[in-house]
Amino acid sequence: MASRTSADPLVVFSPSGKKGRFAAGTPLLQAARSLGVDLDSVCGGHAMCGRCQVDVVEGDLPKHDIVSSAENLSAIDEFEQQFLAQSHALPTRRLACHAKVRGDVAVDVPASSQVHRQVVRKPHEDHAINIDPVVRPCFVEVPEPDIDRPEGDLHRLLTALLQDWGLRELNVVPPVLRQLQSALRAGGRKVTVAIRNDAEVIAVWPGVRDRLHGIAVDVGSTTVAAHLCDLRSGDVLASAGKMNPQIRFGEDLMSRVSYIMSNPGAEAKLTAVIRETVNELIGDVCAEAGIDRDDIVEMTAVGNPIMHHLFLGISPIELGRAPFTLATNESVDVVASEMDISIHPGGHIYVLPCIAGHVGADTAGVMLAELPFDRDDISLIVDVGTNAEMLVGNRERLLAASSPTGPAFEGAQISCGQRAAPGAIERVRIDRESLEPRFKVIGNDLWSDDPGFADVLPAGGVTGICGSGIIEAIAEMYSAGIVLSNGNINGALAKQSARIVKDGTVYEYVLFDADPQISITQHDVRAIQLAKAALYAGVELLMKERGVERVDRVRFAGAFGAQIDARYAMVLGMIPACDLDIVSSAGNAAGTGARIALLDRKARPLIEEQVSRVEKVETATRPEFQDLYVAAMAIPHQDLGTQSDKAKRCR
């Protein structure tokens, strides 16, 4: 544009403020492109997609020393008129590809016409997601073939993509080669291609297609969740979850690995069932959103190291024995069909990197959702599942570890424990005097001592106690003096309350005296003590390594994190004592991370780099971990001082 003269009309774009002089007759879209203004277009100026809508500013703009007027653009032609009428556009609206500069003009690019947008996230997510997906649609018109120029249609397509979109040296996946000619014929030589990473043509459709879809999958050991997203708006169009069918090979991760170790070749079976489940979820979300599987052009996935390996078809055997070696700690980018995942045949799957043998791509997802590496204050982020994966640090240093909490927090290995499902006790209160309990069950808003409680119980009645219920029960038992600091159930109270009964040599607390009877046993208290000690010791170790005595924010990630009441977590000594108001739920942060990696291409190199920077702390080989672990067995925990001491530990 350097050769333009000062006599040429001046064009000013807001909100960017970018401006330049352009020869009369230049379309606004071309002016925007040459200035690097963020103005969307799929059809590349063919006036077909309607994405390049702008609003003309009328009047005097002293700052730019121009008088802007709609008169200074070419007249609206019949096509544009029709288009604008259909979309009920404002009177100021124009299609930038059709409106040509005739004099000085200022135009505003509305948010809906910007390529790079942000979507506001849910309440527990505290920053917006940039929308700049790795796959984007490009419309092109491909010249008719010519018998005297025998190059193939692919060559013609690539030439058109170079001319219209400046894309060069594009790789072309085989499915595109297969679909190209029928798409060209069906679209009258007009097609939309999906371009991945500006490097690869992964799909081709006849005519204009401006909506592409992606799916983010969180492959959990218990639950698999999928979120279908519109790659343009970033909207989640549908979500679905299913139990991980691998559970039939082993409830927890290590029992699945043991199964594979003792049944050579079984990893193929575990891989097949998890992929089948993901395919079913894809079917579910597509049905809900009314789209076709083939409309999904990109997938991202997170999961703990063992799920990560099994989903990728890698045997997790090496993760089941020291030194717990990952096959790869880097992100994996693979064609979906290679993994038997049914999305568009040219679609790819990006699997986030793992951090260490026990700290997986799910934690990478949490990092991406929470961005602790992008903050000055010190975060403690805990994702509690069968293992607890935890992060401590900030932009200077971020440490990660996994601690073997076992599945007690999820209600497993607890005498009356169960998963969080209707009928499970999730909230517990115990009267300090009478030692009588009251509780709530999932699926019912009433407390057990509210009138009519029994009438509104789920069909199966009260079936057990879930993770958050266990924590509250034991914390309340401690607060009521039923459980002592060393974890013993105080048998002396059996005289006071019929709730405390002897079972062999130890005591238990009867929470619900019906059929089945729901009790908290001495064994249950021990299981929770072990789990919380592992969690607390891991956090302590990371804080010591990081050289901090307190953290500025505590985020609980995961489904369990969303249910847990921070007060009770602190009473039990699951986390370092601190002000309750710095503790919050991060929601399903791993899944959110997968969604961010789906919607924002820049998130991928970012998380790859940050994961490589994370310092991994292996709890299993640190002698001091054992000491911290033993010390943390007490309730709340040994080094916990007075309330004022507690407060000091927080900012």
Among 246, 329, 342, 386, binds its own copies (CB under 8 A): 329
Sole window of 332-340, 460-468, 482-490, 495-503 interacting with its own copies (rule: CB under 8 A)? 332-340
Site string for its own copies, 588-627 (x = CB under 8 A): ----------------------------x-x-xx------
- Residue 428 is a binding residue for its own copies (CB under 8 A): no
Smallest separation (angstroms) from its own copies to the CB of 165: 19
- Residue 224 is a binding residue for its own copies (CB under 8 A): no
Smallest separation (angstroms) from its own copies to the CB of 545: 13
Which segments within 109-235 are labelled E, that is strand?
117-119, 129-131, 135-141, 171-172, 190-196, 200-206, 213-219, 223-230
Sole window of 6-14, 207-215, 243-251, 321-329 interacting with its own copies (rule: CB under 8 A)? 321-329
- Residue 324 is a binding residue for its own copies (CB under 8 A): yes
| Alpha-carbon dihedral sign for residues 109, 115, 118, 119 | positive
Residues 299-318 that bind its own copies (CB under 8 A): 312-315, 317-318
- Residue 325 is a binding residue for its own copies (CB under 8 A): yes
| Alpha-carbon dihedral sign for residues 313, 315, 318, 320 | positive
Which amino acid would we find at residue 189?
R
**DSSP 8-class letter at 128:** P
Nearer residue to its own copies within complex by CB, 84 or 611:
611
Site string for its own copies, 556-595 (x = CB under 8 A): ----------------------------------------
- Residue 631 is a binding residue for its own copies (CB under 8 A): no
Size of the residue set binding its own copies (CB under 8 A): 47
Sole window of 132-140, 330-338, 452-460, 631-639 interacting with its own copies (rule: CB under 8 A)? 330-338
Residues 166-185 that bind its own copies (CB under 8 A): 174, 177-178, 180-182, 185
- Residue 552 is a binding residue for its own copies (CB under 8 A): no
Q: Which residues fall within 8 angstroms of residue 269, CB to CB, at 6 or more apart?
A: 249
Among 40, 80, 125, 153, binds its own copies (CB under 8 A): 153
CB atoms under 10 Å from CB of 203, counted, come to 26
Nearer residue to its own copies within complex by CB, 219 or 511:
219
CA–CA dist 596, 602 (Å, integer): 9
Among 110, 143, 152, 422, binds its own copies (CB under 8 A): 152
CB atoms under 10 Å from CB of 605, counted, come to 10
3-class SS letters over 482-542 = CECCCCCECHHHHHCCCCEEEECCEEEEEEECCCCCEEEEHHHHHHHHHHHHHHHHHHHHH
Smallest separation (angstroms) from its own copies to the CB of 228: 24
Smallest separation (angstroms) from its own copies to the CB of 153: 6
CA nearest to 10, candidates 2, 1, 18, 22: 22
Nearer residue to its own copies within complex by CB, 323 or 451:
323
- Residue 263 is a binding residue for its own copies (CB under 8 A): no
Smallest separation (angstroms) from its own copies to the CB of 42: 24
Strands 200-206 and 190-196: antiparallel
DSSP H or E segment with residue 561 = helix 558-563
- Residue 330 is a binding residue for its own copies (CB under 8 A): yes
Nearer residue to its own copies within complex by CB, 154 or 494:
154
CB atoms under 10 Å from CB of 448, counted, come to 20
Among 62, 91, 123, 150, binds its own copies (CB under 8 A): 150
Smallest separation (angstroms) from its own copies to the CB of 250: 20
Q: Which residues fall within 8 angstroms of residue 588, CB to CB, at 6 or more apart?
A: 218, 225, 557, 558, 559, 562
CA–CA dist 495, 488 (Å, integer): 16
CA–CA dist 301, 331 (Å, integer): 10
Smallest separation (angstroms) from its own copies to the CB of 450: 51
Smallest separation (angstroms) from its own copies to the CB of 361: 12
- Residue 404 is a binding residue for its own copies (CB under 8 A): no
Smallest separation (angstroms) from its own copies to the CB of 309: 9
- Residue 433 is a binding residue for its own copies (CB under 8 A): no
Cβ atoms of 245 and 300 within 8 Å: the answer is no
Among 337, 379, 394, 519, binds its own copies (CB under 8 A): 337
Cβ atoms of 399 and 617 within 8 Å: the answer is yes
- Residue 16 is a binding residue for its own copies (CB under 8 A): no
- Longest alpha-carbon distance in the chain: 103
Among 96, 296, 354, 380, binds its own copies (CB under 8 A): 354
Sole window of 1-9, 94-102, 352-360, 506-514 interacting with its own copies (rule: CB under 8 A)? 352-360
Q: Which residues fall within 8 angstroms of residue 415, CB to CB, at 6 or more apart?
A: 519, 520, 521, 523, 524
Cβ atoms of 285 and 228 within 8 Å: the answer is yes
Distance of CA 175 to the CA centre of its chain: 29
- Residue 201 is a binding residue for its own copies (CB under 8 A): no
Strands 553-557 and 583-587: parallel
**Footprint of its own copies on this chain (CB under 8 A)?**
145-148, 150-155, 174, 177-178, 180-182, 185, 312-315, 317-318, 322-330, 332, 334-335, 337-339, 354-357, 359, 616, 618, 620-621
